[in-house]
Structure 1
Amino acid sequence: MPDLSKLEFILHPMPVEVFLTEYWEKKVLHLRRNTPDYYRHLFSLGDLDSFLGHSLTNDEVRLARSGSVVAPRVEGEKKTTLYQFYEAYRSGYTPVVRNLHLCWEPIAEIANALALAFGCYISTHLYPTPEDSQGFSAHWDDHDIFALQLEGAKEWRLYDSGPELPRYSQERNDYARQRGPTDNPWQIINLEAGDLLYFPKGVVHEPRARTLSSLHLTYGLYPETWESLVTESLHELAEREPRLQESLPFGFATGSAASAEIPARAAALAEWVATDARFEPAWNRLAAKVLDKTAPFADGHFARLGQATRLHAQSALTRRRGTVGVVVPSDEGAVLHYPGGTYRAPAGLVAALRFVAEHESFRVLEVPGTADDPERLRLCRELIQVGFLREAGSPDPR
């Protein structure tokens, strides 16, 4: 079971089960808390100076005003400076900071938990907006949004003309929505510090700071779909069955008589695929893709790398915080996928690899499928060094 504590935190006091049953991919949720400091520990405007023009490369920042987006200068003597960001903000621009979860642990903890709970890629965007300003015009997104109001307040106008659960592959140009002067929002939400707003992909929205400046953080969810699973199962089947690699009939593109057989042959193949497709391997491969795109915690693990040499048969091990694994067979053996990394093992270690992926804590001597203790030790040492395991009870190196 995934760790739901972070999801419970951002949804409090609504139970996770209620959210999943009544709101997820269905309708908008606004949680008003009247607790301005509820999200304050995640990030503040006072933290922003440390990133803009300094530790963040400017290619992770965009400046947006009334739907117009400007990219800061990235490098060299003309790189956009912190003071130029101040001036842009004073002029009504919103600095949009992307991927902050890759370098800021409080935000990363929630991103990691959401990725594992929903089984999807997570994006993060931070929006500091000056009062009486608007970064983006009305638009819809191809992913679900959790918007956490960290400071100040922002008005969100929601419209009812967006597509229902749009596919990710739709053209980005479709996301903008031009509104005439007679258009009216179906809902106006004033999101205040400590509040949460959730809306599914496809909901047209238009945020604006009014009488207060605003700082809000979004987590974008890109879940895998049933289409993804069915497609992956077809790919898995095609790797096993050469029939799906046969060419289409000669002349099919020109409408020749040979193309008349295509519908019947395709229908027969679809019936065969429905019978022979194996969904569990496809499920695992899809899960592996999710883990490959999930950012790991920056938890000081570098300091543990040299400690792997002291392991012995009785050493107690555990997975690193926020780390899970899935094992996918390969031609040579198997590959362990975990957030942000992979580890390949030969055929003789597949059982051992599955054991460490399925057990959160264990002792070295409990690892099965290895010929002797040195082999167990070597596997466990390498899994520490690649960032999957750590010694149980080892303190945070930071």
Structure 2
Amino acid sequence: MTTTRMRPATALSRAVATAPDEFAVSHWGREPLLSRAADLGGPGGFTDLLSSAAVDELISRRGLRTPFLRVAQQGAVLPQSRYTGGGGVGAEITDQVLDEQVMRLYADGATLVLQGLHRLWPPLIEFAGRLGAELNRPLQVNAYLTPPSSQGFNTHYDTHDVFVLQVEGTKRWCVHPPVLPDPLEKQAWGGRADEVAATAQGEPAFDVVLEPGDALYLPRGWLHSARAQGDRSLHLTVGIRGLTRYALVEELLTMAMADPRLRATLPYGFDPGDPDAVGAELTETVDALRSWLTTVQPDQVADRLRNRSWPAARPAPLSPLAQLTFADALTASDSVAVRPGLRWLLTAPEGEQVTLRLTGRTLSFPAYCEPALRLALDGVPHRVGDLPLADDADRLVLARRLLTEGVLVPAGQ
């Protein structure tokens, strides 16, 4: 008798063995969390996402190129020239992965890092899309294949949160508290290498061996190192790109250029090395900035943050030829749905037009299409014939345009 494992209710439930509310309050951006396979999907809990056989296929049969592969050994990333070369006849490129070179390096103890698998490997494309939608954040998925008893990277910290999903083998993780809590992307660990090394000599907050099906959540800034145990180790690292208050400050300062007081030239003969002169100008500048900040509207900042964060995430992939074929043959009885992961904003009608904002572009429609657009974009499949427009001809025109623009997809895709 065959049994089918039930698909978890959420993608997050595959990575944390606690309720989402508890995870959000007690761990997200605050504290690490270890979740054991027994409380998740069992020892085979992540093999549907990736496997050693899948790694072999990616390296040898998928035309993999840099930067989708890095190779690290003894804490250093090896030059690409050690494992890439020409693609052969009909593929005149110079950075295609050479499988025999990769094999030799791995046999000599190097760790293989497959990067950007959320763009390459179908099971991870689907998983990353679901998890990114639940967290409402862009993310990336890398895989680390480490030889037995080897370590790819020395103790370091990441500037983004990570979920570690152990797929095969075992790996010992030593985790230490941050030397810099909540580091920004421009505050990489290399600038604090001495502090990191000194802290790594102390007692770790976590010293655990991850076994197949185990998961570990690490907020940004937490120091960590990992070493494979007796067998080779394959794990996935899901990196979550956060949005910080510093990002708000950056956008506010950019917007502040609109205030002539903050663009003003400092006095003639101003001495930047004189604390008294700097102090006087600093007082006036802070007063001007404080006054200007009271005029800022949340929708202005939201618009800038939207433009900043939307391009970092891509919607679910679609099949261009099948999409066009479906659109050409579309009937009122066909069902469509908004493309998963699509970022969009439908503005209120202005005059005779309504605008649909997408990442990097805008689409305009007649204002009377607004109710039909809102229904089509609500995340639920709908029959084309149910769109609130005057007749099927109008409904088909709207649905076809949204399909060919990559906004809608066939329901169930």
Query: TM-score range with shorter-chain normalisation?
Result: 0.7 to 0.9
CA contact (8 A) 1:68 1:136 kept: yes
Q: 1:83 to 1:366 in 2, by over 3 A?
A: same
Q: Deviations over 1:137-168 (max 9, x none)?
A: 01111111100000111000112352111122
Distance in 1 between the 2:75 and 2:140 partners?
20
Going from structure 1 to structure 2, the CA distance change for 1:139 and 1:18 (only over 3 Å counts) comes to same
How far apart, CA to CA, are the structure 1 residues paired with 2:226 and 2:75? 11
TM-score by length of 1: 0.83
Per-residue deviation, residues 96-125 of structure 1 (Å, max 9, x unmatched): 110011011221223223323333321221
Quote the residue 1:200 is aligned against. Answer: 219
Is 1:222 aligned to residue 241 of structure 2?
yes
Alignment check: 8 A CA contact 1:61 1:71 kept: no
Shift of 1:296: 2.8
- 1:155 paired residue among 172, 176, 182: 172
What is the CA–CA distance in structure 1 between the aligned matches of 2:290 and 2:341, rounded to whole Å? 41
In structure 2, what is the equivalent of residue 62 of structure 1? 70
Q: CA deviation at 1:134?
A: 0.4
Greater mean alpha carbon deviation, residues 252-261 or residues 25-34: 252-261
Equivalent position amino acid for 2:25 in 1:
T
What's the TM-score once normalised by structure 2's chain length?
Answer: 0.80
Q: Match of 2:5? A: none
Q: Which runs of 5+ in 2 are unaligned?
A: 1-7, 89-93
The 3-state SS of whatever aligns with 1:146 is strand
Deviations 1:31-64 (A, max 9, x none): 1124210111110011111111442213311111
Name 2:207's counterpart in structure 1.
188
Where does structure 1 lack aligned partners over 5 or more consecutive residues?
none
How far is the alpha carbon of 1:282 from its aligned partner?
2.3
Q: Residue 275 of structure 1 corresponds to which residue in structure 2? A: 294
The residue number in structure 1 matching 2:91 is: none
Say whether 1:292 aligns with 2:319: no
Displacement, 1:215? Answer: 0.3
Does the Cα contact within 8 Å between 1:131 and 1:213 map onto a contact in 2? yes
Q: Distance in 1 between matches of 2:58 and 2:158?
A: 26
Matched-pair contact (CA < 8 Å) for 1:141–1:175: no
- The structure-2 alpha-carbon separation of the partners of 1:201 and 1:388, relative to structure 1 and needing over 3 Å to count, comes to same
Preserved contact between residue 165 and residue 201 of structure 1 (Cα < 8 Å): yes
Size of the alignment, in residue pairs? 384
Distance 1:265 1:333 in 2: 44
Q: Is the 2:35–2:216 Cα contact (8 Å) retained in structure 1?
A: yes
**Is the Cα–Cα contact under 8 Å of residues 234 and 277 in structure 1 kept in the other structure?**
no
Do the aligned partners of 2:271 and 2:277 also contact (CA within 8 Å) in 1? no
SS of match in other structure, 1:306? helix
Kept in 2, the 8 Å contact 1:98–1:125? The answer is yes
What residue in structure 2 maps to residue 75 of structure 1? 85
Q: 1:344/1:252 Cα in 2 relative to 1: closer, same or farther (>3 Å)?
A: farther
Q: CA shift at 1:128, angstroms? A: 0.6
Show the counterpart of 2:55.
48
Aligned counterpart, 2:3: none
For residues 327 and 73 of structure 2, what CA distance do their matches in structure 1 show? 51
CA contact under 8 A between 1:250 and 1:258: conserved in structure 2?
no
- Is the Cα contact below 8 Å between 2:161 and 2:239 reproduced in 1? yes
**Matching of residues 88-167 of structure 1 within 5 Å:** 88-167=105-184
Q: What is aligned with 1:336?
A: 357
The aligned runs of 1:365-380 (5 Å cut-off) are 377-380=396-399
Match status 1:345 vs 2:363? yes
SS at match of 1:207: strand
Tell me the CA shift for residue 374 of structure 1: 6.3
- The alignment's C-alpha RMSD in Å is 3.5
Q: Name the amino acid aligned to 1:300.
A: S
Output the CA distance in 1 between the equivalents of 2:161 and 2:365. Answer: 40
Please say if residues 157 and 189 of structure 2, whose CA atoms lie closer than 8 Å, have aligned partners that are also in contact.
no
Q: Could you tell me which residue of structure 1 aligns to residue 190 of structure 2?
A: 173
Query: How far off its partner does 1:267 sit?
Result: 2.5
| Pair 1:17 & 2:18 matched | no
Identical counterparts, % of pairs: 26
Q: 1:359-396 deviations in whole A, cap 9, x for unaligned? A: 2245557767x999766644432221122202436xx4
The one-letter amino acid paired with 2:265 is L
1:263: how far off?
A: 2.5
Q: In 2, distance between residues paired with 1:208 and 1:273? A: 52
